Amino acid sequence: MLEIKNLTVYYGHALALENINMAVPEKGLTAVIGPNGAGKTTLLKAISRIVDPAQGSISYKGHNLLKYGPHKLAKMGIAHCPEGRKPFPEMSALENLLVGGFVLPSSKVQARLKMVFDLFPILRERMNQLSITLSGGEQQMLAIGRALMVSPSLLLIDEPSLGLSPLVVDELERIIGNIKESGVTVLMVEGNVDLIRDLPDAVYVLDHGSLVHSGTVSQIMNDANLAKTYFGM
C-alpha cells in the first residue's frame, strides 16, 4: 500500500532522516521503533505531507504523495493520529469527531460516528464533554477516533501509549488490534514493548535518522543486541 524510497528529510541544516526505504503491505500493521530523536515522528510527518523531504519518493496505492497537500491525503484515505493526542481543547468530544469526518459526504457521517462510538463506548458517554477535560486515555481514544472518522485505508499512529497507564495501554492494544482486523492498514510508531510484542506484522528500527534493522517481531526480540538496545530486555 505504501512504498518509501530513499527518503531524506532536513530541519534547516539538521539531518532528520537519511535514505529511508520501507514497504508497508496492505491490511496489516507495521511498527516503527527507535530511541527519542531517531526520526520516527518525522517519518510520519513526511508521509502525511506536514514536512517536505529533501529527496526520495513516497507512493500510496501507486500515487506519488509528494504531489499533494495534507488535505488531499485525507480525502485519499490517509489519516494521521499525532503524538501527544492533540484534541481541539475547546471543542467537545463530538465536535472533535465531526471535524475528522469533514471530508466525508454528509450522508456517511452518522454511520461513521456510530462505528467510532461502538469502538470507543466511553466517547459516546463523554461526547458533550470538552476534550480538554477528558483523561489521557480518553483523549488518546478521541484522537484515534477522530482519525478513523476520515474512513481511512491507511492509519498513521504516533506513540499511542505515551504517558498512559498499563491498564489503558492494554485496552488500546485490543482496540488497535480490532482496527487492524477490520482491514485498515496501520503504520504505528511506538516505544512500548507491550504494544510491539503481539500486534505488528513487521518492524522497522530507526536510529539517528537511519534505518538500522527490519524484520518480524520475533526476529527483533530474539536478537539479544536489538532487544537490549531498543527494549531494555
- Summarised one tens digit per residue, pLDDT across range 24-54 is 999 999 999 988 889 999 999 999 999 999 9
pLDDT at 217: 85
Mean pLDDT to the nearest integer, 6-33: 96
pTM of the predicted structure, to 2 decimals: 0.93
| Contact criterion met (CB below 8 Å) for 56 and 8 | yes
Nearest C-alpha neighbor of 26 from the set 183, 143, 203, 218:
183
Mean pLDDT to the nearest integer, 76-86: 90
Of 93-107, 184-198, 211-225, highest mean pLDDT: 93-107
| Contact criterion met (CB below 8 Å) for 19 and 6 | yes
Sign (positive or negative) of CA dihedral 53, 16, 4, 71 = negative
Mean pLDDT to the nearest integer, 165-178: 90
Mean per-residue pLDDT of the chain: 92
Question: Residue by residue, what is the 3-state secondary structure of 44-65?
Answer: HHHHCCCCCCCEEEEEECCEEH
What is the Cα–Cα distance from 142 to 129, expressed in whole angstroms?
A: 12
Better-scored residue on pLDDT, 232 or 140: 140
Cell of 109: 457521517
Kindly compute the dihedral angle of the four CA atoms of residues 219, 225, 229, 233, in this order, to the nearest 10 degrees. Answer: 80
pLDDT at 232: 66
Confidence of residue 233 (pLDDT cuts 50, 70, 90): low
| Contact criterion met (CB below 8 Å) for 87 and 96 | yes
What is the Cα–Cα distance from 10 to 54, expressed in whole angstroms?
A: 7
CATH 3.40.50.300 fits 2-231, yes or no: yes
Mean pLDDT to the nearest integer, 138-147: 94
DSSP letter at 92 equals B
What is the Cα–Cα distance from 123 to 147, expressed in whole angstroms?
A: 14
